[in-house]
Amino acid sequence: MLKLFQSKLNEAMRLYLETCTRCGICTEACHVYASMGQIKYISAYRHEIVRRIYKKYFKGRGKLWPSVGESKELSERALEELYEAAYSCTGCRRCMVYCPFGIDTQMLMSIAKLLLIGAHAEPEILTLLADTSIEKGKSLELFKEGFLTGIKNLEAQVVEKWKIEAGEKAIPVDVEGADLLYVALAGAHSIVPAAAVFNAAGENWTLSFFEAVNFGAFVGDPTKTKLILDRILDEAKRLKVKEVCICECGTAYRLMKQLSGNQTFRVSSITEVHARYLREGRIKVDKSKFKEPVTYHDPCQLARNAGVIDEPRYILKHLTHDYREMSPDPRYNWCCGGGGGLVVLGEENLDFRMKSARVKAEQVKETGAKILATACENCHTQLGNLNSHYDMGVEVKFLSSMVADALVR
Amino acid sequence: METVYFIILIPMVYAAFAVFVLGVVIRLVKLFREPNNPTTLQIYPEKRPRWLWALNDTFLLPTVRRHKPVFWVFLMLFHICFLLLIIGHLELIGDFRFFQLIPHEVFLGKGFVGLILSVCVLYFLFRRFSSPVRELSIPEDYYLLILLFLTIFFGSQMDWARRWYDYGNLSVVEYREYVLSLLYLRPHVSSDLTSSGHSFMLVLHVFFGNLFFMFFPFSQLMHSFLSLPMNKLRRG
């Protein structure tokens, strides 16, 4: 277990573990604390749960004078605390905006998640899903046929949405030398609208065999995260594409953008690609398509943590006459409460997810918007749940679907 | 008593200085020899030049100003006064013309620097008694603030005695003689320094100061060195 802890220690992690002054500035940063008011949800409190174990096993004074830093053994009780801290944190990094030192809670929670894996106390479903993804990468041939049949069924929907020229393939797969590799999620909603827009823009694209979502990252297993990511990197290299475009999945985009290292291809999110098509005049959309007021929820991993902030707003300016901003500063947009794998746990933590995101629901209501657009699968699911729970009276839509729906020739 | 005074004023000062310097250097070297994080830890939207914004974050604490304005005022006052205090102590070593750009009597601030610092430290301490900072705090936080308060309070008493209630038996001349003797490795404590009615204040000031310096490298006080590199990580 301690080896697992050790494996997470690098310069940044040690800085985060050794500098907190527990000043309490981060108190109001966490949506869970803001919604539920329990001390255990304050970022600094979450940090201390990891930090106490760090002091016990990695710092001299944790051994010599344990009481001064309240260092703590890695016991069963400590594991329970780690679970509670890690799986109530969405990794949105809003607290990092508050902290005078910029301590990254998501990083510290990644230690907690790894220790839980070591103790086989992580949510099993996440590991199971991660293993399935890896298995698919290993034995692609087994999955290929089923996948291609599924795609064939979707093509009819694309044709209906966007009448393509005869001879063209509505959803090209495995095209060597394509310009763009689109990595989608398993589901028509992630493939059909995207395909319609790519085709409308005349893009030379191909669909990836693999889904973008990285369950390895959600469960906090660095080895599995890398294996899942590598499947897509290998495919991109094999097909010699110039660009890898990640669907509306915040974590997948951030991982690909920031963890893939130096590659010959560029990495974009579908939101960036759509904004580019609009800017270059490659697609045209009908601005009067959505008549009701629209607001946009910034997925934390896409905006605050990866910088895709202006593009969705640029797109929305083309889609509606009535766009309403949620927060004057996108860094302060509340997290929806579904990130970090929480939404994947489904019914198991639905009650917590709803209670912990009260502030998000209020933020949405205050805009008075009727359409709530977002560009992340997890956010979309969570916002949908919030919509029914808090009676928000909005329609939650994917931004990419809105673009596809508003396409004009 | 003489022996206790001697131990606190000479060997313990050297020991504290050694622990402080070696502790800080070893910790910084160990820390910065660790590998970098494989991914960026930046927060967006980014602002350039990044280093300038990191300096701004480190020294002007904009996030605190935005979210806890009262706390920010105390924090800024504390850190500015702490800097003036360091200058004041450096001036015990010699007359630096640079520091005398604004002519003043050693120490700087006519006694108010110490007063402001004491008030600020008390504020930091008392805010830890109320929720939610109480639940976040650990013993280290209290020990440090109490130690800091005692050091500052006894140090300031010596300054206040001279300035505010005309106590003339101990002056900067005696302090300077003592500090220089330590610096030139010919430690000497004059009888003026130990026989005055206020000598115990000097001894307590140095004693608590020594403890503070010895605790420094192993505590959250390292934020004074680590804040800038951490803010640079956030700025990318």
Show the 3-state SS of B63-101: HHHHHCHHHHHHHHHHHHHHHHHHHHHHCCCCCCCCHHH
Could you tell me the two tokens for A252?
């997948």
Contact flag B36-A70 (C-beta cutoff 8 Å) = no
The single-letter code of the amino acid at A78 is: A
| Chain A interface mutation, best of B63, B79, B131, B225, highest count of A Cβ atoms under 10 Å | B63
Question: By percentage, how much of chain B surpasses pLDDT 70?
Answer: 100
Q: CB of B38 within 8 Å of any CB in chain A?
A: yes
Contact flag B35-A42 (C-beta cutoff 8 Å) = no
Q: CB of B50 within 8 Å of any CB in chain A?
A: no
pLDDT at A164: 64
* pLDDT at residue B106 tops 80: no
Contact flag A101-B226 (C-beta cutoff 8 Å) = yes
Residue B116 near residue B148, CB atoms below 8 Å: no
pLDDT at B177: 87
Average pLDDT over residues B51-62: 95
Tell me: cis bond preceding B38? Omega within 30 of 0 counts: no
Residues 355-394 of A with CB under 8 A from B: none
pLDDT at A348: 87
Chain B closest-CA separation from residue A34 CA (Å): 13
Chain B residues with beta carbon closer than 8 angstroms to that of A110: none
User: Phi/psi at A59 (nearest 5 deg)?
Assistant: -125, 135
Q: What is the pLDDT of residues A345-367, one digit of tens each?
A: 988 899 999 999 999 999 999 99
Q: CB of B225 within 8 Å of any CB in chain A?
A: no
Nearest alpha-carbon partner for B29 in B232, B222, B234, B215: B222
Instruction: Report the DSSP beta bridge partners of residue B165.
Output: none
The single-letter code of the amino acid at A178 is: A
The single-letter DSSP state of residue A355 is H
What is the rounded CA–CA span in Å between residue A378 and residue A310? Answer: 21
Per-residue confidence at A165, pLDDT binned at 50, 70, 90?
A: low
| Degrees, nearest 5: CA angle B131-B137-B141 | 130
**By three-state DSSP, how is residue A130 classified?**
helix
Q: CB of A2 within 8 Å of any CB in chain B?
A: no
Average pLDDT over residues A265-289: 94
Q: CB of B49 within 8 Å of any CB in chain A?
A: no
pLDDT at A32: 97
pLDDT at A368: 94
Of the partner residues A45, A96, A309, the one whose CB lies closest to the CB of residue B234: A96
Strand A284-285 versus strand A407-408 pairing type: antiparallel
Average pLDDT over residues A310-331: 92
Instruction: Report the DSSP beta bridge partners of residue B24.
Output: none
Name which residue leads in pLDDT, A378 or A151.
Answer: A378
Residue B203 near residue B8, CB atoms below 8 Å: yes
* pLDDT at residue A168 tops 80: no
Chain B closest-CA separation from residue A409 CA (Å): 34
Contact flag A15-B46 (C-beta cutoff 8 Å) = no
The single-letter DSSP state of residue B41 is -
What is the rounded CA–CA span in Å between residue B213 and residue B8? Answer: 13
Could you tell me the two tokens for B15?
């020991």
Contact flag B63-A12 (C-beta cutoff 8 Å) = no
Chain B residues with beta carbon closer than 8 angstroms to that of A12: 36-37, 41, 233
pLDDT at A243: 94
Chain A closest-CA separation from residue B216 CA (Å): 12
The single-letter code of the amino acid at A19 is: T
Q: What is the pLDDT of residues A89-140, one digit of tens each?
A: 999 999 999 999 999 999 999 999 999 999 999 999 999 999 999 988 888 8
Terminal C-alpha separation, chain A = 59
What is the rounded CA–CA span in Å between residue B12 and residue B207? Answer: 8
Average pLDDT over residues B138-143: 94
Contact flag B34-A67 (C-beta cutoff 8 Å) = no
Contact flag B141-A22 (C-beta cutoff 8 Å) = yes
User: What is the edge-to-edge ordering of all strands in the sheet holding A180-183?
Assistant: A205-207, A180-183, A243-246, A266-269
Question: Count of CB contacts below 8 A, A vs B?
Answer: 135
Q: CB of A99 within 8 Å of any CB in chain B?
A: yes
pLDDT at A167: 56
**Mean model confidence pLDDT for chain A:** 92
Average pLDDT over residues A137-149: 83
Contact flag A25-B138 (C-beta cutoff 8 Å) = no
ipTM: 0.91
pLDDT at A151: 87
Could you tell me the two tokens for B225?
């060195």
Average pLDDT over residues A54-66: 88
User: Phi/psi at A321 (nearest 5 deg)?
Assistant: -90, -15
Those residues whose C-beta lies under 8 Å from the C-beta of residue B89, and which sit 6 or more positions away, are: none
Of the partner residues A21, A61, A97, the one whose CB lies closest to the CB of residue B63: A97
* pLDDT at residue A317 tops 90: yes
pLDDT at B91: 86
What is the rounded CA–CA span in Å between residue B50 and residue A15? Answer: 19
Question: By percentage, how much of chain A surpasses pLDDT 90?
Answer: 77
Contact flag A44-B136 (C-beta cutoff 8 Å) = yes
Q: Is the pTM of this model over 0.90?
A: yes
Those residues whose C-beta lies under 8 Å from the C-beta of residue B70, and which sit 6 or more positions away, are: none
Nearest alpha-carbon partner for B227 in A21, A54, A30: A21
Torsion sign over Cα B152, B157, B158, B159:
positive
Residue A364 near residue A154, CB atoms below 8 Å: no
Contact flag A67-B139 (C-beta cutoff 8 Å) = yes
Those residues whose C-beta lies under 8 Å from the C-beta of residue B29, and which sit 6 or more positions away, are: none
Q: What is the pLDDT of residues B153-183, one digit of tens each?
A: 999 888 887 778 877 777 788 888 888 888 8
Torsion sign over Cα A88, A90, A91, A93:
negative
**By three-state DSSP, how is residue A328 classified?**
coil
Q: CB of B69 within 8 Å of any CB in chain A?
A: no
Q: Give me Rg for the CA atoms of chain A.
A: 22
Average pLDDT over residues A211-235: 92
| Chain B interface mutation, best of A11, A56, A64, A302, highest count of B Cβ atoms under 10 Å | A11
pLDDT at B223: 95
Q: What is the pLDDT of residues B179-194, one digit of tens each?
A: 888 889 888 888 877 8
Contact flag B234-A307 (C-beta cutoff 8 Å) = no
- Using a 10 angstrom Cβ sphere, with 0-12 exposed, 13-18 middle and 19 or more buried, the burial of residue A111 is buried
Q: CB of B43 within 8 Å of any CB in chain A?
A: yes
pLDDT at A138: 83
Quick one: closest CA in B to A29, which residue? Answer: B67
